C-alpha cells in the first residue's frame, strides 16, 4: 500500500518531527541546573564548607563532586546548589522550582512523584543510644527484631524516609529538624533511641561535630540491609530527559572506572 501526502500534510509532519528532535536533543551545555538538598546537611555527601571553624555559603561533599563531575565536567552545564529544609526541597522539586535533588533513599511516593537516577552510594540503617542509660550492657537496648522497637521512644528527623529501617515507621517521633535537636532529646530522655544512617553521623566530623563520642553507642537495625541512595529529577524540569540520561550514564561510567569509589573514600577514610 502506498500512502500519499499533500504538501501541507508533509510540511506539518516535518515541523512536528523537527520540534520533537529539538526538544530531546537540546544540549545541557551552558544551561543552569538548580539543585537542592537538606538544609540540616548530610555530611559527607552534602554540607557547607567550614573554614577555620566558620560555616561558609559554599556547598561541598561527595554528592556535589559527583554532580559537578558529570554535569559541569562532561556536559558543561552550570550548577547552582541550595540547601532549604528537606521537605521544602522535595515540595519545590515537585513544582519544578528545582531540577534535581541529591541524596534520596527510595520509597513508593518518591518513585511516583519524581524520576530516580541510578543509585550511587549505600548507607547503613542504624539506631543510636545513650550509653549512660545502659550501664550494665555495652550493647544498649535489647533489640533483636523489628517489633522490639515498640518498647522504646524512637526519634527521627522531620521529612526523612525510614522505610528501609525494617520497623514500624508509625512509631517514630519525627519532631526534630536536625541531629543536634535529636541528640539533645536523647540526652534528656525525651527519646530512648535515634534512627540514623551511621555513615552520615561519621561525616559530621566535617562540620566540626562528633556525635559518635564515647557517650553514645550504635547498632545496625536488625534485619535491615545497606540502603541505596539515588538522586531525584523533577518531572517538571525542562531538562528532565537530558538529566536522566546524563546522570545515569555518568554514574555508571564513574562506577565502571573505579572513580566513584575513590571519590567516596576520600571523604570516608582520608
For the cut 70, the answer to whether the pLDDT of residue 3 exceeds it is no
Per-residue model confidence as pLDDT tens digits over 111-131: 999 999 999 999 999 999 999
User: Tell me, which fold does domain 125-225 have in CATH?
Assistant: D-Maltodextrin-Binding Protein; domain 2 (3.40.190)
For 106, the grid coordinates are 527510595
Mean pLDDT of the chain: 89
For the cut 80, the answer to whether the pLDDT of residue 231 exceeds it is yes
For the cut 80, the answer to whether the pLDDT of residue 232 exceeds it is yes
Contacts 24+ apart (CB under 8 A), 48-53: 48/83, 48/207, 50/206, 50/207, 50/208, 53/208
pLDDT confidence of residue 13: 47
CATH class of 29-122+228-268: alpha beta
Q: What percent of the chain has pLDDT over 70?
A: 90
pLDDT confidence of residue 233: 98
Per-residue model confidence as pLDDT tens digits over 195-213: 999 999 889 889 988 888 7
For the cut 80, the answer to whether the pLDDT of residue 22 exceeds it is no
Residue ranges of the domains in the chain? Answer: 29-122+228-268, 125-225
Query: 44, 203 in Cβ contact below 8 A?
Result: yes
pLDDT confidence of residue 11: 47
pLDDT confidence of residue 85: 92
For the cut 70, the answer to whether the pLDDT of residue 54 exceeds it is yes
Are both 29-122+228-268 and 125-225 of the same fold? yes
pLDDT confidence of residue 21: 35
35: preceding bond cis by omega (within 30 degrees): no
CB-count burial class (<10 Å; 0-12, 13-18, 19+) for 149 = buried
Amino acid at each position: 500500500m502506498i500512502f500519499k501526502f499533500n504538501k501541507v500534510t508533509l510540511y506539518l509532519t516535518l515541523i512536528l518531527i523537527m520540534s520533537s528532535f529539538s526538544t530531546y536533543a537540546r544540549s545541557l551545555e551552558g544551561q543552569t541546573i538548580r539543585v537542592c538538598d537538606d538544609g540540616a546537611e548530610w555530611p559527607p555527601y552534602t554540607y557547607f564548607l567550614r573554614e577555620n571553624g566558620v560555616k561558609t555559603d559554599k556547598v561541598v561533599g561527595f554528592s556535589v563532586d559527583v554532580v559537578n563531575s558529570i554535569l559541569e565536567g562532561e556536559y558543561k552545564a552550570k550548577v547552582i546548589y541550595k540547601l532549604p529544609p528537606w521537605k521544602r526541597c522535595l515540595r519545590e522539586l515537585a513544582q519544578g522550582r528545582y531540577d534535581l535533588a541529591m541524596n534520596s533513599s527510595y520509597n513508593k511516593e518518591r518513585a511516583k512523584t519524581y524520576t530516580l537516577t541510578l543509585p550511587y552510594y549505600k548507607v547503613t540503617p542504624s539506631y543510636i543510644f545513650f550509653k549512660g542509660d545502659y550501664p550494665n550492657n555495652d550493647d544498649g537496648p535489647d533489640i533483636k527484631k523489628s517489633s522490639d522497637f515498640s518498647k522504646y521512644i524512637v526519634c527521627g528527623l522531620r521529612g526523612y524516609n525510614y522505610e528501609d529501617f525494617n520497623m514500624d515507621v508509625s512509631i517514630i517521633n519525627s519532631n526534630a529538624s536536625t541531629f543536634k535537636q535529636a541528640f539533645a532529646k536523647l540526652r534528656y530522655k525525651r527519646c530512648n533511641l535515634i534512627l540514623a544512617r551511621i555513615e552520615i553521623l561519621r561525616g559530621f566530623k566535617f562540620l566540626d561535630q562528633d556525635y559518635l563520642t564515647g557517650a553514645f553507642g550504635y547498632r545496625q537495625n536488625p534485619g535491615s540491609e545497606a540502603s541505596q541512595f539515588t538522586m531525584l529529577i523533577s518531572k517538571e524540569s525542562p531538562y528532565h530527559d537530558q538529566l536522566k540520561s546524563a546522570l545515569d550514564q555518568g554514574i555508571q561510567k564513574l562506577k565502571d572506572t573505579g572513580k566513584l569509589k575513590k571519590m567516596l573514600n576520600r571523604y570516608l577514610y582520608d
